[in-house]
Chains A and B, each alone.
Chain A
Amino acid sequence: MTIRPPIAMLAELTHRCPLSCPYCSNPVELARTETELPTEDWVRVFGEAAELGVLQLHLSGGEPASRRNLAELVRAARAAGLYTNLITSGIGLTEARLRELDAAGLDHIQLSLQGTDAEMADAIGGYRGGFMRKMQVAGWIKAIGFPLTLNTVLHRRNLHQLPRALEMAEEMGARRIEVATVQFHGWALKNRDALMPTREQAKEATRIVAEARARLKGRLVVDYVPADYHSDYPKRCMGGWGTTGLNVAPDGTVLPCHAAQTIPHLTFENVRDKPLSEIWYQSPAFNAYRGTGWMPEPCQSCDRREADFGGCRCQAMALAGDAGATDPVCIKSPHHAALQARAAAHAEGPDALIYRIAPGKPLPLIAGAATGSEARPAERIAAENS
């Protein structure tokens, strides 16, 4: 099998984040600040990534603005020849910092939107005043002229705000909006009851997106991630395991997707120990689910096997208990009917949110919200990135 070089790298600069979103897809156990890769290692890794064939770099987290030297990292990424995208909540960015990022050559910004008004956004982010600050940041982004994508995560509580989110994208001068229905990986698995959209809501989102794409053609591109628990075929996760992209966690661990550490039999290498190229081409974790040879039935003989590569490995782990199984989202999976029943049950579940917690971080002060793991028994966690 020919292994092609990766196109994209997600650099998770830190797991620190001022927000506490209940749908956070980062692991339940976050990398602590003292284990974060230092700047000089990131700079080296950006160079190794470009040499390996990476063209697009996504600076993410956590909240990447929590790294004080973000502009230095952007400058290094551009110097390495990478298209550099910042994925941010906006919190922690000031006008001065944005101008510094502009001067450093930042290509594009993706700004997350937790809700279309302060009441919703601050309740989801678990951060009072966050919406107002985000709107301020959006204004500076527009004034500076950064190309912008607005990233929205839809779930049972805010799905009705999608039409307003589309308007806001245009008002902010975004040329693109990413409408992602909540995916359940990492911390988010704790919140399936509170966040799972109903099947009717999922259909409504699909309808609104189709209408918006026709109406806004030539003005706003709408990228859409449908509700996969309610779907009949799985997503082509990561474009296929080890084919397109890789993630580097805050401590330098290199992952085929950002939830891969939930697959217990895989071991992962670190950029502190090995060159990125050796990890990409030779590490057992990257080779574990490459191509189609690893597939069981019904994937092995399926005509969609190279369309979706059997879906998401981490989701198969979380839902079927086997990372090598067909993603239970697939209509051909023996677990599909049970998953759809579970999705319907989650959609009827209790509404209490369990906010993301992190070591040393105060709990969000939102009235009436459940916080932390005391709210219900800890779940076995597995996760993935779409």
Chain B
Amino acid sequence: MDPTAIPDLPRGVRVHFDKVRETWVLLAPERTVTLDPVAHAILSEVDGKRSFGEITARLAELYAAPQDQIAADSAGFLGALRDRLFLDLAS
């Protein structure tokens, strides 16, 4: 994933806390994706303003982990959301 690309959740896709199942989920048209803590941490940084590179740098700092490893994990997850059109990527 291009580090300068800016990820954003499009209208109609939103993060929601599921009180009954006590987990974070991503709600999209006719789909619900359960978010594990890593996925939720990544999406919590997606604000439509910061680039993928800035987000992974921030996550590396927050979780004291190597940025290239975080970038690889995040690219896999965000790429899968992008393929399902649950995520926009602006270059």
Nearest-neighbour CB distance to chain B for A50, whole angstroms, equals: 8
Whether, in the assembled complex, A217 has its beta carbon less than 8 Å from a beta carbon of chain B, the answer is yes
B12 and A52 contact, CB distance less than 8 A: no
User: For residues 71 through 91 of chain B, which have their beta carbon under 8 Å from a beta carbon of chain A?
Assistant: 82-85
Whether, in the assembled complex, A176 has its beta carbon less than 8 Å from a beta carbon of chain B, the answer is yes
Whether, in the assembled complex, B29 has its beta carbon less than 8 Å from a beta carbon of chain A, the answer is yes
Whether, in the assembled complex, B49 has its beta carbon less than 8 Å from a beta carbon of chain A, the answer is no
Say whether, besides A5-B20, A221-B85, A147 and B12 are in contact (CB < 8 Å): yes
Nearest-neighbour CB distance to chain B for A135, whole angstroms, equals: 21
A85 and B29 contact, CB distance less than 8 A: yes
Cβ proximity bits A79-102 to B, threshold 8 Å, 1 near / 0 not: 001010100000000000000000
A145 and B11 contact, CB distance less than 8 A: yes
Q: Which residues of A contact B29 (CB under 8 A)?
A: 85, 107-108, 110, 147, 149, 175-176
A147 to B13, CA, bound (A): 9
A52 and B20 contact, CB distance less than 8 A: yes
CB < 8 Å neighbour of A147 from B11, B21, B84: B11
For this complex, into which size category does the number of interface residues on chain B fall? Answer: 10 to 19
Whether, in the assembled complex, A237 has its beta carbon less than 8 Å from a beta carbon of chain B, the answer is no
Say whether, besides A53-B21, A107-B12, A145-B11, A175 and B27 are in contact (CB < 8 Å): no
Q: Which residues of A contact B30 (CB under 8 A)?
A: 8, 56, 85, 149, 223
Nearest-neighbour CB distance to chain A for B51, whole angstroms, equals: 19
A55 to B16, CA, bound (A): 9
Q: Which residues of B contact A55 (CB under 8 A)?
A: 16, 18, 25, 27, 32
Q: Which of B12, B13, B16, B18 has the most CB of A within 10 A?
A: B12
Q: Which residues of A contact B13 (CB under 8 A)?
A: 147
Q: Which residues of B contact A53 (CB under 8 A)?
A: 18, 20-21
Q: Which residue of B lies closest to A54 (CB)?
A: B20
B82 and A218 contact, CB distance less than 8 A: yes
A7 and B32 contact, CB distance less than 8 A: yes
Q: Which residues of A contact B85 (CB under 8 A)?
A: 175-176, 218-221
User: For residues 176 through 213 of chain A, which have their beta carbon under 8 Å from a beta carbon of chain B?
Assistant: 176
Known: A55-B25, A81-B19, A108-B29. 12 other contacts (CB 8 A): A5-B20, A5-B21, A53-B20, A55-B27, A55-B32, A81-B16, A107-B27, A175-B85, A176-B29, A176-B85, A218-B85, A221-B84
Whether, in the assembled complex, B66 has its beta carbon less than 8 Å from a beta carbon of chain A, the answer is no
Q: Which residues of A contact B82 (CB under 8 A)?
A: 218
Whether, in the assembled complex, B3 has its beta carbon less than 8 Å from a beta carbon of chain A, the answer is no
* Interface residues of B, Cβ cutoff 8 Å to A: 10-14, 16, 18-21, 25, 27, 29-30, 32, 82-85
Q: Which of A55, A175, A220 has the most CB of B within 10 A?
A: A175
For this complex, into which size category does the number of interface residues on chain A fall? Answer: 20 to 34
Q: Which residues of A contact B11 (CB under 8 A)?
A: 145-147
A218 and B83 contact, CB distance less than 8 A: yes
Q: Which residue of A lies closest to B84 (CB)?
A: A221
Nearest-neighbour CB distance to chain A for B5, whole angstroms, equals: 13
Say whether, besides A83-B27, A85-B29, A175 and B20 are in contact (CB < 8 Å): no
Q: Which residues of A contact B14 (CB under 8 A)?
A: 83, 107
Q: Which residues of A contact B19 (CB under 8 A)?
A: 81
Cβ proximity bits A143-162 to B, threshold 8 Å, 1 near / 0 not: 00111010000000000000
User: Can you list the 6 inter-chain pairs with the closest CB atoms, starting with the nearest?
Assistant: A147-B12, A53-B20, A83-B27, A108-B29, A175-B85, A108-B12
Q: Which residues of B contact A147 (CB under 8 A)?
A: 10-13, 29
Q: Which residues of A contact B18 (CB under 8 A)?
A: 53, 55
A56 and B32 contact, CB distance less than 8 A: yes
Q: Which residues of B contact A217 (CB under 8 A)?
A: 83
Nearest-neighbour CB distance to chain A for B6, whole angstroms, equals: 16
A75 to B15, CA, bound (A): 19
A107 to B26, CA, bound (A): 13
Nearest-neighbour CB distance to chain B for A112, whole angstroms, equals: 14
Provide 8 A-B residue pairs closer than 8 Å at the C-beta atoms, listed in order of the A residue.
A8-B30, A56-B30, A83-B14, A85-B30, A107-B12, A146-B12, A218-B85, A221-B84
A292 to B12, CA, bound (A): 36
Nearest-neighbour CB distance to chain B for A177, whole angstroms, equals: 11
Q: Which residues of A contact B32 (CB under 8 A)?
A: 7, 55-56
A168 to B63, CA, bound (A): 46
A175 to B28, CA, bound (A): 11
Nearest-neighbour CB distance to chain B for A149, whole angstroms, equals: 6
Nearest-neighbour CB distance to chain A for B23, whole angstroms, equals: 11
